[in-house]
Structure 1
Amino acid sequence: MASSVDPRFGAALREFRERRGLSLRALGQLAHRSKSHLHELEAGLKPPTVDTARHLDQLLEAGGVLARMVDAPVDHAAEAGELRARVAASDVSADVLDRIEQSVDDLASSYPTLAPADLLPLVRRHLAYVVRLLDGRVTLAQQRRLLVAGGWLAVLRATVHIDLRQRNAAAAHLRAARDLAEHAEHSEIQAWCLETRAWDVLTQGDFRTALELSRQAQRVAPKGSSARIQATAQEARAWARIGDVGATRRTLGRVERLTANLPVPERAEHHYRYDPAKAAAYAATTLAWAGDPGAEQVARAVLADLDPRGDGGARPRRSASARLDLGLALVAAGQPDEAVAVGARAVASGRVVPSNWWRAAELLTKVEQSGVPEAATLRDLCMEYAPGRLPPADSTPD
């Protein structure tokens, strides 16, 4: 063990000096030390010797406090051992962390098939568990794993709230996800937060903000990540809603290049792992929104792939969305009667989530504007299945 100076020595020296009402100059005269030397001692710029500390202790009547701050031996080995023990101390086992991360993947993979109202309580329960663990003893490495898991769960929860049109809750959890991602220095979660906000404002009709958020997400997302691909696809959708067909086509071309050599992920249904098959589905949606003549062919191919037997397929929510895309493309192609048929199947499937009902309402408006009598059938189904009020007949969408 070696002698060392308590880092609080300078502050203690200043306190005892001021109690006696002495200036640095006056104390220097009593102690036969220079004013600058005493200043350096108080500022911690220079360590005192044992003799100087004892002499100052006597002059200031400090009761041995200053002397002990210099005389006290420091057990460096013990301090280092305590530090190592604190780093290793944890109430969380590796098995618990593995199960949490597995649950995150399971919940993200359930997103395309499980109804939002059924998925939400599961996500809430797991997120609450992660928060409780963060309040306990965890190592630095474990803390980061929990922050990352919490970030994924928070952004997934926000997405489900958006699907349920619970936008205040969604905004709150997007902020939480962003904060967790920043603490964990996880740029992909940060990018997904921006992309999710882009989708939310796009569904509300704020296409320019959606465009800017999509571009921000691309700048933040790691190169080659699913978040960057998804954000690029979201940019294409924003251009389509704005009505710039050229920009829409160019952005879809970028999506195609990003996914050209992308392998199919182990869990293709995982919401945060980009499946190359999604590219075609997004292209169908985007081209249909842009009124591009090529939308019908792409939409038919996507629907045939998703639902080859006509029973909804393995991803019934995607199949319902694909039918809405095909319906819009058919209206644009002058086939409103078939558009009603495919739109009716989408609505009657019960798989159109609340955040997507504006797409069904848009299709309804377009077929009604076409004057086809079958539109009444689609309206009746929409009135039956819609989570909220539909616009009155002959109205135009926002």
Structure 2
Amino acid sequence: MAERGMSLRALARDSNYDHGGLSKVARDLRPPTVEMAQRLDAVFGTDGTLTALVAAPQSTQMGRWQTSAMDEELEAIDIARRVGATDCGELTLGHVEAIFDDLAVSYHRSDPGELLVRIMTQLKYISRLLDGRKTFKEHRRLLVTGGWLSLLAATCHIDLDRKGPAAAFLRTARSLAEEAEHDEIIGWCLETQAWQHLTEGDYVRAVALSQAAQHVAPKDSSAYIQASAQEGRAWARMGDRGRTRALVDRVTGLAAALPATERPEHHYRYDPAKSDAYIATTLAWLGDVEAAPIARQVLARLIAPSDGTPRLRRAASARLDLSLALIAGDEPDEAAHETMTALASGVLVPSNYWRAQEVISKVEARGLPEAHALNEAYQGLRRSAPRELS
């Protein structure tokens, strides 16, 4: 409303919604409904973003214990805030930064819709802190944490194939990062866009965005390594073996120079141990038979890791990489089996459906009888997937 110079009465008129109801939501006395959010999206032209903020928590059907856990997190932060001279002293900032790290670690083993609930809770709390008393340094740290959380929210929306909300959160993340002069977050924003274009088949744009990310991100950062990897994948999709191999070698060298991270599952910290997974994906997309043995090792490690916690979401994607490599190596029967296992896993996110479709198309081209069952499983998965909010 403030951005558009619109009064509450004008908004009620344009949205054909009760003025009193809008007033209570504006004063945080009542939660907004999905219907209200849809009407406001139509008035503001925000492409489903407001609806996503309201519907994401409802769509996950959280249990009472989950809501209680989030309330307890915020209460802990509030206690820390009250003992400081400002509204966001060291204890408060340390809490919100630690919670972001926990969410980034949870990303690979969480349902993206459920993770969005906690992300939005934290973003709302940071918004409150931004309105409070703080020093310049504290303000910048809040902007940085808000930028990381917005970036993670965008990634979850991409996983759910919700393009409108994903784009909105990417814009927010970049805006906060630019305000805080945080080049690594800007680099990650560009890299995330590159991945989105790659999954949509716009490989030229994916290369351009990956290169832009490498230009802006610090050369010793995880964003720089991941952007280099993304460029290599895009060249692989275009069949350019020379550029692909050069980037595989670059990423391998950069990863080897990194120290082992204490939290290897953190989505925004490149783990050197994951470089073989990147190589397997890239070579599989290139149609290189060398990808198969590497992909087998990666899958085995994800199913039975050294810490005993299976990485189910990554394993489902790794099965599709292995399937593609098996087809290149003329082993379509095993490829069909691995693809069916991935489809039946229950953890394959919508942003990876295209990878399954590619394997199925290649199985069909071989005339294998398994193609019919794979198609049925794939169509069933698509029918049960959450639809993009509008």
TM-score, normalised on structure 2?
A: 0.74
- Quote the residue 2:248 is aligned against: 252
Check if 1:236 corresponds to 2:232.
yes
* 1:82-231 equivalences in 2 (<5 Å): 90-231=86-227
d(CA) in 1 for partners of 2:156 and 2:148? 12
**CA-CA distance at 1:380 after TM superposition:** 2.4
Question: Structure 2 CA distance, aligned partners of 1:324 and 1:379?
Answer: 15
1:211 corresponds to which letter in structure 2?
V
| Deviating more after overlay: 299-308 vs 246-255 | 299-308
Structure 2 letter corresponding to 1:354: P
Q: CA offset at residue 313 of structure 1?
A: 5.2
Bigger radius of gyration:
1
Q: In the alignment, residue 324 of structure 2 is paired with which amino acid?
A: L
Question: Alpha carbon RMSD of aligned pairs, Å?
Answer: 1.6
Pick one of 363, 368, 374 that aligns with 1:372: 368
The percentage of counterpart residues that share the same residue type is 55
Question: Does the 8 Å contact 2:160/2:351 carry over to 1?
Answer: yes
Deviates more, 1:334-343 or 1:377-386: 377-386
Deviations 1:202-259 (A, max 9, x none): 1111100000100111111112111011001001110011111221111101001101
CA deviations over 1:15-64 (Å, ceiling 9, x no partner): xxxxxxxxxxxxxxxxxxxxxxxxxxxxxxxxxxxxxxxxxxxxxxxxxx
Instruction: State the alpha-carbon separation in 2 of the partners of residues 250 and 293 from structure 1.
Output: 18
Letter of the structure 1 residue corresponding to residue 303 of structure 2: D
1:383 aligns with: 379
- Give the AA of the match of 1:123: I
Q: Structure 1 regions of 5+ residues with no counterpart?
A: 1-87, 390-398
Contact 1:320–1:349 (Cα < 8 Å) also in 2:
yes
Quick one: distance in 2 between partners of 1:387 and 1:330? 28
Equivalence for 1:332: 328
The C-alpha deviation readout for 1:80-102, integer Å capped at 9, x for no partner, is xxxxxxxx962223211111000
Q: Partners of 2:235 and 2:135 in 1: how far apart?
A: 46
Deviation at 1:132, TM superposition (A): 1.4
Q: Deviations over 1:249-306 (max 9, x none)?
A: 1110100110113222111100000111221111111111111121112111211221
Are the equivalent residues in 2 in contact too, given 1:177–1:193 (CA < 8 A)?
Answer: yes
Q: Distance in 2 between matches of 1:275 and 1:91?
A: 35
Whole-Å separation in 2 of the counterparts to 1:388 and 1:355: 14
Aligned residues of 1:293 and 1:333 also touching (Cα < 8 A): yes
Calculate the TM-score normalised by the size of structure 1: 0.73
Q: What is the DSSP-based 3-state SS (H/G/I as helix, E as strand, rest coil) of the residue aligned with 2:109?
A: coil
Instruction: Extract unaligned runs of 5+ from structure 2.
Output: 1-83, 386-390
Amino acid at match of 1:347: L
CA offsets 1:62-114 (integer angstroms, 9 cap, x no match)? xxxxxxxxxxxxxxxxxxxxxxxxxx962223211111000000000010000
Q: Runs in 1 of length 4+ with deviation above 4 angstroms?
A: none
| Corresponding residue to 1:268 among 264, 269, 277 | 264
TM-superposed deviation, 1:387: 4.8
1:288-303 equivalences in 2 (<5 Å): 288-303=284-299
CA contact (8 A) 1:354 1:387 kept: no
- Post-superposition shift, 1:174? 0.7
Q: Deviations over 1:167-190 (max 9, x none)?
A: 111111111111111111111001
Q: 1:104 & 1:89 partners in 2: Cα distance?
A: 23
How far apart, in 1, do the equivalents of 2:383 and 2:152 lie?
A: 21
Inter-partner Cα distance in structure 1 for 2:384 and 2:364: 19
